[in-house]
Amino acid sequence: MARPRSAFGSILSILAGLALSLGIVGWWIGHTVGDADAFASLAGDLLHQDAVVSSLASAIVHPVLENATPEVKQQRAVILATTESVLRDQRFVPLFEDVLRQAHDDLIDGKGNVQLELGPALASVITQVRPIAPQVADQLAAVPAPHPVVIAAAEADRVRSLVGFERAATIAFLVGGAILVVIAVIGAGPRALVPFGVTLAVACILFLLLIFGARGLLGLQVSGTNGDAAASAFGVVLAGLRTTLIVATLVGVGSAVLGVVLGRR
């Protein structure tokens, strides 16, 4: 009887490890990607990325200057530098939080492309340029604010589906995984922690490789920005998930070691 009980306990432990790893990822999605305030709070970290600031400045300046007068176009370098200084100013962070909050609402509850509403940024640039070049500021004010697409419609639909699924399934994964590992330990003893810990650690490592090494498989490729800015923004958004998965991996390793130690007694 010991062998069937041990095999059954191992199966439960493996299922528990898989369920908890999925629940951990779902918890992060729900508390970061799925939460408007948490998503908006990334504004400060994003604006500390040079590639992101340069890309945003270009997204603001290029459409504005496209149909501008030659006199305004000659001031391109000044306008671009002023725009970057505005974006780097700590006072712009609350404005950018509102931009991200609107983009989040479009991503989770909207349809079609996800755009950045850069009107507040352009208004700040105009305020900074006016003392230096009033005529340039007047012409900038006459141009509609740009709305660059950051996530295409098809990719946004995938994110909405993923967030919706994880919101519904996260609690079930976490609670179910915890119950399974308790049953496994009761039925097969502490040795059941070994397959549980190994499964949890391996699953979290695979998630890390999948997310950071093959993000295209998840349909999260950012469109309309240069590669460096997309990579920087992607890294900022997923920094919390990376830390969470690393901690979960260590918990899995610790559980496996604990199972080996207790199983010998």
Beta carbons within 8 Å of 30's beta carbon, 6+ residues apart: 163, 166, 167, 170
pLDDT more than 90, % of the chain: 23
Beta bridge partners of 151: 114
CB atoms within 10 A of CB 93: 18
Instruction: Give counts: helices (H), strands (E), the chain.
Output: 13, 2
Determine the pLDDT at residue 209: 86
Give the pLDDT band of residue 226 (cuts 50, 70, 90).
Answer: low
Beta carbons within 8 Å of 84's beta carbon, 6+ residues apart: 53, 54, 57
Asked if 138 contacts 173 with a C-beta cutoff of 8 angstroms, the reply is no
Q: For the packed helices 76-88 and 119-129, what is the interaxial angle rounded to 10 degrees?
A: 120
Give the pLDDT band of residue 218 (cuts 50, 70, 90).
Answer: very low
pTM given for the model: 0.76
The pLDDT tens digits of the residues spanning 131-153 come to 877 777 777 777 777 787 777 78
Q: Is 101 exposed, middle or buried (0-12, 13-18, 19+ CB in 10 A)?
A: middle
Beta bridge partners of 114: 151
The pLDDT tens digits of the residues spanning 51-87 come to 888 888 887 777 777 777 777 777 778 778 888 888 8
**CB-based burial, 198-221: b 16+ in 10 Å, e otherwise:** bbbbebbbebbeebeeebeeebbe
Determine the pLDDT at residue 244: 92
